Amino acid sequence: MNGVRAGAALVLLVLVPACGDHSESKHAGPAPSTTVEPIVPLGSSPPVGLVWNVGFAENVPIADMEAQYRKFVQLSQDLWSVTEGQVCLSKIRFFDAVSPGAKPSASESLHVSNLDVVIYASANWDILPVTGQVLFFSPSGTLGRTDRRIDIPDDARRTTVLHEGSHFTWKLSWRGNNLPPGLDDEYNYDPPDSACIMDLSFSPLRWCSGGSLPSPNHVTKDGGQGATSCWEQILKDYPNYHFGGSSTTATELPPVAVEYNDTP
């Protein structure tokens, strides 16, 4: 149905550079303006740091929160690279026991008005082969803090988290063809486009480009966003941002603050 955008990540082929932190090759840039917003604000200028409220369905030990925090730092690094140093996560606020026993098959009846992300126990993840999802079109303050919410299992992979985070991050104005107010699931339409995180396989990490933008690589889809690439739509809605064609940055990732609200 329209309200659910599933993020199946079945055949992701991702080649991740095996380099560690070569900090000598990174330089610190201007500190991102931190917003309390979970979505990049319309009218904003980069760099911007987002604040996400993440709730575990179950009551979990703080070690589980710390483990998920490391995943969100990786997500921040991936967003920072893909946006060429324009968007990152500035803070993650963890909560737990938000809905013990919750299963994603009933996700639309889960109302968590303060949250942007729900992490389910993997044992309760009952919508396989879907490996993660973003629910769009919910009135703010019902399914989540805004009009969208990420659902993932606690064993979600890096590429799944990045795919769902990509859906979530931008507020886009494209319309028609069931397009959501964020990046769409390109894998629902032919032909396959290996140039984008929003398709099924992609390497390296990037969102597709097209038209007059650098490194155009978007394969026109039969349906969905058609000839409009992800970056073209992002820049239409966020004119202060830019795309240089590299999908990477030499600017060091800003720190990701964390807050643990652990139910005893």
Q: Which one of 7, 32, 46, 165 is in contact with Zn ion (CB under 5 A)?
A: 7
Q: Which one of 185, 209, 224, 253 is in contact with Zn ion (CB under 5 A)?
A: 185
3-state class (DSSP) for residue 50: strand
Query: Does the protein bind Zn ion through residue 135 (CB under 5 A)?
Result: no
| Rounded Cα gap, residues 257 and 264, in angstroms | 22
Binding pattern for the stretch 192-211 against Zn ion, x by CB under 5 A and - elsewhere = ----x-x--------xx---
Query: Does the protein bind Zn ion through residue 127 (CB under 5 A)?
Result: no
> Which among 91-99, 139-147, 224-232, 233-241 is the span making contact with Zn ion, rule CB under 5 A?
224-232
| Rounded Cα gap, residues 192 and 187, in angstroms | 7
Query: Does the protein bind Zn ion through residue 37 (CB under 5 A)?
Result: no
Cβ-based nearer residue to Zn ion, 66 or 190: 190
* Least distance in angstroms from the C-beta of 148 to Zn ion: 12
Tokens coding 210: 């097209």
Could you report how far apart the first and last alpha carbons of the chain are, in Å? 38
Cβ-based nearer residue to Zn ion, 90 or 159: 159
- Dihedral of the CA atoms 91, 95, 100, 105 (nearest 10)? -20
Q: Do the Cβ atoms of 43 and 241 come closer than 8 Å? A: no
Query: Does the protein bind Zn ion through residue 82 (CB under 5 A)?
Result: no
Least Cα distance to 90 among 139, 41, 137, 135 occurs for: 41
Interface residues with Zn ion (CB under 5 A) are 7, 185, 196, 198, 207-208, 230
